[in-house]
Chains A and B, each alone.
Chain A
């Protein structure tokens, strides 16, 4: 016996739809930027990795916040969604220390 949704999001704020096409444009630009940075720039390796990761995370956040509607969901859901992230950092970070 599952509850099912009604037209207005239960608990979420009624909101104007974000401009999905604008987000799409951002994602396109960021993707191009990533490829350019990876192949055209002559930055040192560490800076390169950092910039690429920042760009990737930026894109991921855009998808999560706008396409997955997280921005308009109750704040508790943000905490739920963020839960795995520290664990991922702990796992990868700690084991990378093996090769430091």
Chain B
């Protein structure tokens, strides 16, 4: 039959016997999990860029507040309601702050961790031919796109984009008398409600697929930690997102119908929004880190050529973090005026959650201990994750203590913490994951020298940008502040702000190396074999890239776990899950789970 081979097409793959779908069905409205994963990748890289640009504009204002000698680049293109004479207006600054956070959290990091990798990896890593519900999967992507468009459109409407912070606290976010923005805030709510549906559809798919479609021999305890992390993350999404949806609906009614769910008059409760939002919001931040931890485990083990240290403990730690993540949300509200008894309770639970995270960190170190490390690009990103995540975690311990949080709440100390875990943690893991699985996705390797340069510069500039924020925050520099120089005690630290901005600009510029590498490699990258990293998990047993249906009609059989590096049973320093040894040395084939 017709075999469609498109050698120049980055997303083309050698189709098996009867793949005669049209271009639109193959690449636009595709039900193939791999294509959907790649679609999410392109979408979220775009939003990552947008989020970065917004941050650069913010940093410009912070370094040279309202300084006519240093006008905002590109400010001339923006309307007078946002920027006048090169100086941005305070309302616009608040929009930048809000939209940077919102876009990065919901449209960049979350889809980069879940939308891309849950879709791409899960069926491959468990040995399935696709997701349980391929059409639902397609719907999930094509719901995320309108959500993104709605969010972007809010920049262009009367009143401008939402400006009440990515956390949208009421009553600022529900009453335009306070914020000056009505339509933008409404669009913000509608966009996130829509995105919620997309995430929900995805999570139903991921959970069903992992539970019911594992290949023969793929017991739960033989799944790679990437799959485990994505599985548990999906459960968090399933149960947390609907609470956000409910909260946003009430917010939308307040904004549109004049109800008072979150406003003090007529019996409303502004704190209700905070509780509902953070009840979702805290599991959300674990959604933003757990998949990254999973990828790091897989990459570290591969680079170290050693099994992951303490696989069972790693699985239990992921579950423990997810479980405890439900009862810590109040630590975002220590200064809100909530019941003080809650403050103490949340402090205890938050301190507790450091334990499973620490277990994971020590196990990563255990994996590296006495290892013969291959310092490939993904490995460097994984190592950066471990070290930067530790720093972010440590600042988290400070913030977890209610009395310590009193001076640190809503300061740049918090900004340092969140960026150490989200950039130092999640984003490094994402860069590592993209580099690691790029050959599988596109059949080509990413350029190595560019990869090393991008990593090194990013690591340096990242630390130069965000570490000084710990000092700023301890010195009292508040978040979401338009002009720090209006306060004498902050004006003293203004040099630090300038330093951070310059580092941030360099950091942002460095990312173009990654983008150039990514797009260049799509077309000109060295052709990749099916297993360029000599890894063990199932996705490496499929061709690079895998055909539609992944396994050419025959599901793989799994004989062991995914971390059999340096196994005594074989000469090579790795032993893939699918390889059947002549004399199976360990246990028999399992019959059940």
Contact = CB atoms under 8 A, between A and B. Distances in A.
B466 to A, nearest CB: 32
B404 interface: no
Nearest to B240: A87
Contacts of A83: 235, 239
B339 A87 contact: no
Interface string A67-96: 000000000000000011001001100110
A98 B327 contact: no
Given A87-B326, A100-B339, A95 B239 contact: no
Interface string A1-19: 1110000000000000000
> How large, as a class, is the contact surface on chain A?
10 to 19
Nearest to A91: B279
A97 B327 contact: no
B326 A90 contact: yes
B134 A90 contact: no
Interface string B329-344: 0100000001101100
B256 to A, nearest CB: 24
B239 A87 contact: yes
B339 A3 contact: no
Contacts of A95: 272, 275
Nearest to B280: A91
Contact of A1 (B134, B330, B339): B134
Contacts of A94: 275, 330, 342
Contacts, number: 32
A2 B326 CA distance: 33
Nearest to B134: A1
A5 to B, nearest CB: 13
A90 B134 CA distance: 35
Interface in B89-115: none
Contacts of B326: 87, 90
B336 to A, nearest CB: 10
Interface in A27-67: none
Interface stretch (B74-82, B125-133, B369-377, B423-431): B125-133
A91 B132 CA distance: 31
Nearest to B31: A1
A3 B133 CA distance: 10
Nearest to A94: B342
Interface of A: 1-3, 83-84, 87, 90-91, 94-95, 97-98, 100
